[in-house]
Structure 1
Amino acid sequence: MTWLRSVIAAVLLLPQAVMGQEATARFGNGATEFLLRSTTDIAIIRPVIDRFVALNPDLTIAYEQWGSNDLFAVSRAECTGDGVAADAVFSSAVQQLVWMVNAACAHPYRSSATLALPRTRRWRDELWGITTEPAVIVYNKNLLADDQVPRSRFALLDALRSNPEFYRDRIATYDIASSGLGYLFAYADSLEASTFGALLEGFARVDAVATCCSSEIIEAVADGRFLIAYNVLGSYAANITRPEVGMVLPQDYTLFLSRGLMIPRGARHKAAATALLDFLLSAEAQDLLRQAGLVMGTDTAEADLTASARRFIPLSPSLLVSLDANRSGFLLRYWDDTFAGSTGP
């Protein structure tokens, strides 16, 4: 398929056109303009950036919100001298940031705050995990009785097998072709041989929908368009104000993501970037991030997770395997076969 070839080109680092920002905002009115490119929704991150500029009145933050694949493309281009580099890049698609670091596109930094991070959230003193966010199952409380809510992948599989017509066209997840985060979660799931293949077969059986993006998927669940959304980032579910939406951390295993921050090698304001990094890792900022739903504990959403069920996605070279040509090509083709003909909300 033409679209699949385009997706593989993006994932495998071939040149592609950049679609541009999803939204922009400005914070503060200082003399120094600091460019922050991020996949995090402006509405969610606003209190954190407001506090940072209040502490640094000499700065104006030019905040650009991007889709993860487009952010990856523009950051790669800037690493090779095509365009103006951001002063910091903050992305949920951390496999793409690992690639950037591996390609010598990052500026190193070390402080007491960064050294206090666990090894799974710090790589080569050039990439740091800021948040703690689970991949969750979201459901409509009004349309599913409590005993119908799947609290594990095995329960979800049983539900799809026992009543496929009830769930037909009413299960959603990320389109991994357009979402770097969705691709990362799908890749992590693919390492779980016991459920991944069966889950995709179940999705195909009920004509599940692969679509974009977190906020839109959750709103569609709230509206009743979907009964269940799978592998949605918990921070977005925590921020929605719709009482119809419930959230489950799967008890067989729950993936936990730390959004990564990287300071590009070509950043113009590296001192300000390191100040932002240290601030984001401070107790004050972590509390603000917690209030914003970007730092979530394992007790969220009635979860009773054992230590072995907590799967933290590490910032490490192991994520480079997800971008291997053969691995990504197979996963994208498999996904395309599963969701052939699906449409968004």
Structure 2
Amino acid sequence: MRILAAAGLVAFGLVTFDALLGAARAQVDATVDGPRRDATEAVREGAVVIRATTDEAEAAGLLEGFRQLHPGIAVSYAKLNSSKLYEEFLAEAETGRGTADIIWSSAMDLQVKLVNDGMAERHASPEAAGLPPWAVWRAEAYGITAEPVAIAYNRDLLPEERVPRSHADLLRSLTQNPEAWHGKVATYDPERSGVGFLFLTQNLAVTQKTWDMVRALGQAGAKLYTTTTAMLDRVAAGEALLAYDVFGAYALERAKDDPRLGVVLPSDYLLVTSRIAFIPKAARHKAAAGLFLDYMLSREGQARLAARSVTPSRPDARRPDDPVVTAPNPRPIAVGPELLTSLDQIKRSRTLKQWRRAIEGR
């Protein structure tokens, strides 16, 4: 298991988690008390409301660290599916009564669309200097993580010699032995999941053989899901042999405690995705939101994410034992306007129609 060691994702810090937190705490305190941030106003607001696609268990350390630094600010956190988060945010914004304070989603394209549509508050975080260039767009959208898109499999039911080590291996196996896989493969449903659509379009950007993969998945009777957690549950239970295109962070964290789960980072190319955060212009608690976003981007906040097998975007916050550090052929998905191409409604409709035909074997 291996992670990013490529241009643009620079070297990883070789420090322990506890040491990193100690070194970072003074830096975070200085940022909080600096002239740019009205911490007094944030305390007066008294709350920060976060809507995210990240499971609360994965964000628990981050939330705990912020609460320790700012006990006077109540933190409200709710997890939603990426498409539902997008739709509910738009509906909330339309009411004119204000919105949540932080929108944090793994659906990179939908996040960039919201920012491009003028719905994000500009926030020139002092922590942005610690991020790679691909993770920042217009001082409005910030890539918080740098995560591999992986393959998960059941180690008890799938012999090592049958485990695909690349996209090409999986395509070959699905094509040559569809009966062996029938009904035993899980993957995202791009019609119902924003993340699923993002992964589909990003795989297509790498290779048009992605359509062959979709057809092979259809021939194998792949089951479709809207979350990585649901897919990992099926794999662990033996209801699926393999899950294709899952969040590597979730899979690797689960695999620590569940010997039934194995994780592969494809060797031919590795999509590296990011969970983007921004502050809405209509946020009800903007000062508190600014404090929270700065903490998310700080070395301490990023290290707390790293403690849960989430690869942070900051190179100096990554764990030395991060299992993806030597991954070949990483393909980071940059935070920026290039992601808007796939969301053109005509192109989106065309892509989903082609996906439907391919998955149904038509």
TM superposition score category, shorter chain reference: 0.7 to 0.9
What's the counterpart of residue 107 of structure 2? Answer: 93
Deviations 1:213-251 (A, max 9, x none): 211100100111111110001111122232100001111
In 2, distance between residues paired with 1:162 and 1:106?
48
Matched, 1:312 2:332: yes
Q: Quote the offset at 1:199 in angstroms.
A: 0.7
Using the aligned pairs only, state the percent identity. 34
| Aligned amino acid, residue 288 of structure 1 | R
Give the deviation of 1:177 after TM superposition. Answer: 1.5
The match for 1:285 is 301
Residue type matched to 1:130 in 2?
A: I
Cα offset for 1:304? 5.0
Separation (CA, whole Å) in 2 of partners of 1:218 and 1:237: 7
Given that residues 45 and 285 in structure 2 are in contact (C-alpha distance below 8 angstroms), is that contact kept between their aligned partners in structure 1? no
**TM-score, scaled to structure 1:** 0.85
Q: Is the 8 A contact 1:249 1:300 kept in 2?
A: no
Moved more, 47-56 or 78-87: 78-87
Assess if the C-alpha contact under 8 Å between 2:215 and 2:359 holds in 1: no
Amino acid at match of 1:313: I
What does the per-residue CA deviation read over 1:40-91, in whole Å, with 9 as the maximum and x for residues that have no partner? 1112211210110111011101112111111111222344444431111111
- Tell me whether 1:162 sits opposite 2:182 in the alignment: no
Equivalent residue for 1:130? 144
Greater mean deviation of Cα atoms: 236-245 or 252-261: 236-245
| Structure-2 separation of matches of 1:47 and 1:134 | 21
Aligned counterpart in structure 1 of residue 289 of structure 2, from 236, 252, 273: 273
Gaps of 5+ in 1: 1-28
**In the alignment, structure 1 residue 230 sits paired with structure 2 residue 244:** yes
Alignment-mate amino acid for residue 324 of structure 1: D
1:264 corresponding residue in structure 2? 280
User: Counterpart of 1:242?
Assistant: 258
Q: Using CA pairs under 8 Å that are at least 6 residues apart, name the structure with larger relative contact order, 1 or 2.
A: 2
Kept after mapping to 2: 8 A contact 1:140/1:228: yes
Q: Contact (CA 8 Å) 1:247, 1:301: kept in 2 or not?
A: no
**Residue 71 (1) aligns with residue 85 (2):** yes
Deviation sequence 1:300-344 (CA, Å, 0-9, x none): 6578533xx111011110111111122211221122234449xxx
What corresponds to 1:118 in structure 2? 132
Distance 1:172 1:299, change over 3 A: farther
Total equivalences in the alignment = 311
C-alpha separation between the residues in 1 aligned to 2:334 and 2:281? 22
Specify every segment of 5 or more residues in structure 2 that has no aligned partner in the other structure, as ranges.
1-42, 313-317
Map Cα deviations across residues 167-202 of structure 1 (whole Å, 9 max, x no partner): 011111011122111111111011133421211121
On the 8 A contact 1:107/1:264 being kept in 2, the answer is: yes
